[in-house]
Amino acid sequence: MTGKHSILTAVAVLCCASIVAGCNSGRGRTGDKQFSGTSINTQQDGDKPLGQQPTEFGIPVTGVSFENVLFEFDKASIRRSEYAKMDSVATYLKRNSKTRVVLDGYCDERGTAEYNLSLGERRSIAVRDYIVELGVMSDRVFTRSFGEEKPLNPEHNEAAWRENRRVEFSLYR
Amino acid sequence: MNTIYKYAILICTTVMLFAAGPAAKCADVITIVKAGAEKASIDLTGLVTGDSRAGAEFKKTLEGDLERSGWFKIAQRGLAGTIVSGVCRESDTSIGVSCAVTDIGGKILLSTSYSGQVEQTRKLAHRAADDILRAVKGVRGMASSRLAIVGTGTGRKEIYTCDSDGKNLLRVTDDGAIGIMPSWNATADGLFFTSFRAGFPYIYSLDLRSSPYAPKQITRFPGLNASPSLSPDGRSLAMALSKDGNPDIYVMDLRSGSLSRVTRTRNAAEASPSWSPDGKKLVFTSDSTGRPHLYIADRNGGEARRLTFRGSENVAPDWGRNGVIAYSSLRQGLYRICMMDPATGEDKAVQLTNDQENYEDPSWAPDGRHIACARSAGSGSDIYVLDSMDGSFIRLFNAKGNWYSPAWSPK
């Protein structure tokens, strides 16, 4: 997914949805997301399969850390402000060809654990897709979702939730 | 928090207005069913326990089960329409109970006996409660069933089981990692669950009759392996996997291990599959419209029908064998337990909780009447049992830690 127009996605979905419903056709297309009023197309292609994770990842890389990519509530689209963070990770990975990265996706505590586990995975995959698009081999990038488990900030307020909706980078050599 | 929810509700309302067409109406109808079926008065004073401690425990457990069933109220001697009489006998290590149930006209509805080791006293009482309910009301009970729950008593999430009355709470996993999303096997003597015990979230099965603890790994796909749910015939396991590059719903044939893909929604997250009573369809959560809502698809895939439009989120469906889907709906900023017959749709859906707490993750009891769910207040979470016929609810047990994701056994 390119995701660069994500800021406008919600608005676009709403506009398109209303137009589509007006035509009574029941389906429209906005960017890379299929939208439909009463049903969803379950036959879309274009996803990039994940590589099987190894049993052992090797030694954690210390002395290097990257800023977490942050997300909006219930969203997995990448905000404009977050691209620079992923760019620096991709640059590092290209310079250190033996390094592998695990992308850990997290959600805030609101919502049910099951949905949040899927949402966290989608956040990891959104970051993976961008890093792979920048030229990092996909067999060095692994996704893992913890959903709403393991919050970074255990408080129950907006500031904590903002910190907790994140993808973290863990590097291994 | 309020602003976010206001925003979310506004968006949802807008989508409903413009996208949903005639299928959705914006007016939220909040209905709490208060008119349950008439409770039968039942008199247990004729069940003689003498000085048997096990007998007294049998009687107390039976009385609690009958009240909890929702179908009975315990009456004083001579004031009941249904009379239980009998004798409890205790020897060194065993208990025997013979009892008869008659109606007010003296007609015998049930005449039976129970015997076993003293340690099995509660189990025997649960069996008696279900037998009495069937004999008097002709319906299935829940007294002998159990629940699987996620608990944090050890400081980490592990899976526990308990009886339908909240007693006999036992930890059944020992992963020292995150264990979540328990669901039962067809024979109610084993579980499926998701655990991070190997670092990544994989699906495991556990035979509750065996010890020491030895879970069997069912899946090891790249990425997400979650939300296991067994088909009614016990042959297939629905699950959420992300191996193909996005979280989607799949069905695995448990004998051959072969997988079929149910959803194929790019850039949308699916979760929480639950089977229709006939095993032909699945209800699940998808955020393909931007917020999570419920959809129904054929178990072999194809187009999915959107089921919910009201509330800003509708998640965690459990399709009961009574044909009714229980789910959690985010309305006015709080998660409410709702239930819906997919044949009549959301217009006829019933909202069961209406106070200032969040109720999530509903699971139908085998009696088709009660629903277990997690109620969170502040940062704490406990398991509650709702009576879908009269709207009442009780806390299942009081134990240290937080409790989530109840799954009621199929029998």
The CATH number that applies at residue A76 is: 3.30.1330.60
* pLDDT score of A46: 65
CB contact under 8 A, B269 and A76: yes
In a domain, A143, yes or no: yes
B residues 156-215 closer than 8 Å to A (CB): 157, 178, 180-181, 194, 196, 199-201
Question: Using CA atoms, how far apart are residues A40 and A38, in angstroms rounded to an integer?
Answer: 7
Is there a contact between B313 and A73 if contact means CB atoms under 8 Å apart?
Answer: no
State residue B358's pLDDT score: 95
Distance, CA of B97 to CA of B123 (rounded, Å)? 12
H or E element, residue B89: strand B82-90
Q: Does residue A9 lie within any of the structural domains?
A: no
Beta-carbon separation of B404 and A113 below 8 A: yes
Q: Judge whether A22 lies within some domain.
A: no
Which residues in A lie closer than 8 A to residue B246 (C-beta atoms)? Answer: 47, 122, 125
Query: Which of residues A31 and B388 earns the better pLDDT score?
Result: B388
What's residue B153's pLDDT?
Answer: 93
Confidence of residue A45 (pLDDT cuts 50, 70, 90): low
Residue among A36, A45, A143 whose CB faces B223 most closely:
A143
A161: nearest CA partner in chain B:
B1
Those residues with Cβ within 8 angstroms of residue A96's Cβ, 6 or more apart along the chain or in another chain: A173
ipTM of the assembly? 0.86
Residue from B152, B219, B242, B299 to probe the interface with A (highest A Cβ count within 10 Å):
B242
Q: Compute the distance between CA of residue B92 and CA of residue B96 in angstroms, rounded to an integer.
A: 11
Q: Cα torsion at A140, A146, A152, A155 (round to 10°)?
A: 160
Residue A123 lies in a domain: yes
- Token pair, residue B224, equals 């997400």
**Residue A105 domain-assigned (yes or no):** yes
Chain B partners within 8 Å of A122 (Cβ): 242, 246-247, 267-269
pLDDT for res A49: 87
Report pLDDT digits (tens) over B217-232. Answer: 999 999 999 999 999 9
What is the structure's pLDDT at A39? 66
In a domain, A19, yes or no: no
> What is the predicted pLDDT for the residue at A44?
55
**Measured between beta carbons, which residues in chain B are less than 8 angstroms from residue A17?**
15, 18-19, 289
Quick count: other Cβ atoms within 10 Å of Cβ B19?
27
Query: What's the whole-number mean pLDDT along residues A58-72?
Result: 93
Whether A107 maps to a domain, the answer reads yes
Residues of chain B with pLDDT under 70: 1-37
pTM: 0.86
- For the stretch A112-153, pLDDT in tens is 899 999 999 999 999 999 999 999 999 999 999 999 999 999
A50–B243 C-beta distance less than 8 A:
yes
Look up the domain containing A89 and give its range: 31-172
Do B136 and B102 meet the contact criterion of CB atoms below 8 Å apart? no
Looking at residue A53, its pLDDT comes to 80
Give the pLDDT of residue B101. 97
CB-based contact (8 Å) between B10 and chain A? no
B228 touching A, CB under 8 A? no
**CA B359/CA B328 separation, integer angstroms:** 7
Name the maximum alpha-carbon separation found in chain A: 57
pLDDT at A105 over 60: yes
What whole-number percentage of chain B has pLDDT above 90? 86
User: Is A8 a domain residue?
Assistant: no
Four-residue CA torsion sign, A8, A9, A11, A16: positive
Q: Which of A37-46, A92-101, B316-325 has the lowest mean pLDDT?
A: A37-46
- Counting the structural domains of chain A, the total is 1
Q: Which ranges constitute the DSSP H helices of B264-376?
A: none
Using a CB-CB distance cutoff of 8 angstroms, which residues of chain A are in contact with residue B335? 112
